[in-house]
Amino acid sequence: MAEPREVMRLEGLRKSYNIGQANEVEVLHGIDLRLDSSDFAALVGPSGSGKSTLLNQIGLLDTPTDGELYLLGQATSDMDDEARTALRGQHLGFVFQFHHLISAFSALENVLMPVMVNQGRPDREAIDRARALLADVGLEKFADSKPTELSGGQQQRVAIARALVTRPALLLADEPTGNLDTKTAADVFALFRRFHQAYGCAVLLVTHDPRLADTCDRTISLIDGCIEP
């Protein structure tokens, strides 16, 4: 694998809700964190510790109250929504607990969706890449199936293929195996591992399954909005 490089860095990241109101609450208390392309990390912590909030900050889905987030060396706190959306579409891949496929589109089209919203009509090369990814997750036969015709595990695998179609630098997954049975969960987890090795993208998984966390190379534990050393 190539020399590891920095993918994402947080400096003193804070996030508060209900700012200026009586019930103002700070969820993240100054987080410093760095992820390299070689990282296959689990983000663990009890419920309410701010795992999802942190993941949303890293995923540029939400804006921090204070601090800075560097994605591939670029400071993001001054960017407008347009620029953040573009960066998110290009360099980040998301897998959520519930598959969240777009139900009006086939499996293949769902995999291509990030390409289509970022570049418009997909070219031959993108379609081939999407087909290859579907084959990698073992669903080449289901390319034209609608999400409703697929099982939960199959849908989650389509979602993983979708997250990888743009060759992101960082793959973010929020409880990706949370609603799957043990066997399917292990399969999905193995996929993450495989893609991490094949594409060299950093992976950050939120989970509260300790067995799953143990199989990751690195464990980041978040307790009460602070990272445990």
Binding residues among 119-178 for another protein as defined by CB under 8 A: 120-121, 162, 166
Of 40-48, 100-108, 178-186, 209-217, the segment contacting another protein by CB under 8 A is 100-108
Helix (H, G, I), strand (E, B) or coil at 30: strand
Q: How many CB atoms lie within 10 A of CB 97?
A: 17
Please give the DSSP secondary-structure letter assigned to residue 150. Answer: S
> H helices of the chain, where?
51-58, 81-91, 107-119, 124-136, 152-164, 182-199, 210-214
Nearer to another protein, 85 or 219 (CB): 85
Of 5-13, 23-31, 109-117, 128-136, the segment contacting another protein by CB under 8 A is 109-117
Of 2-10, 92-100, 211-219, 221-229, the segment contacting another protein by CB under 8 A is 92-100
- Where is 27: in which H helix or E strand? strand 25-36
Task: Name which position in 6, 14, 26, 89 contacts another protein (CB under 8 A).
Answer: 89
Bridge-based pairing of strands 74-75 and 66-71 is: antiparallel
- Taking the C-alpha atoms of residue 132 and residue 187, their distance in angstroms, rounded to an integer, is 18
Based on the shown chain and the rule CB under 8 A, indicate whether residue 70 belongs to the binding site for another protein: no
- Taking the C-alpha atoms of residue 116 and residue 102, their distance in angstroms, rounded to an integer, is 13
Nearer to another protein, 94 or 192 (CB): 94
Based on the shown chain and the rule CB under 8 A, indicate whether residue 19 belongs to the binding site for another protein: no
- Taking the C-alpha atoms of residue 40 and residue 171, their distance in angstroms, rounded to an integer, is 10
Nearer to another protein, 61 or 72 (CB): 61
Maximal C-alpha separation, the chain? 55
Binding residues among 170-229 for another protein as defined by CB under 8 A: none
Nearer to another protein, 72 or 186 (CB): 72
- Total number of residues that touch another protein (CB under 8 A): 28
- Taking the C-alpha atoms of residue 136 and residue 38, their distance in angstroms, rounded to an integer, is 21
Based on the shown chain and the rule CB under 8 A, indicate whether residue 77 belongs to the binding site for another protein: no
Bridge-based pairing of strands 170-174 and 226-227 is: unpaired
Task: Name which position in 72, 113, 186, 226 contacts another protein (CB under 8 A).
Answer: 113
Nearer to another protein, 101 or 216 (CB): 101
Nearer to another protein, 45 or 147 (CB): 147
Question: Which chain residues interact with another protein by CB under 8 A?
Answer: 56, 59, 61-62, 81-82, 85-86, 88-90, 94, 96, 100-105, 113-114, 116-118, 120-121, 162, 166
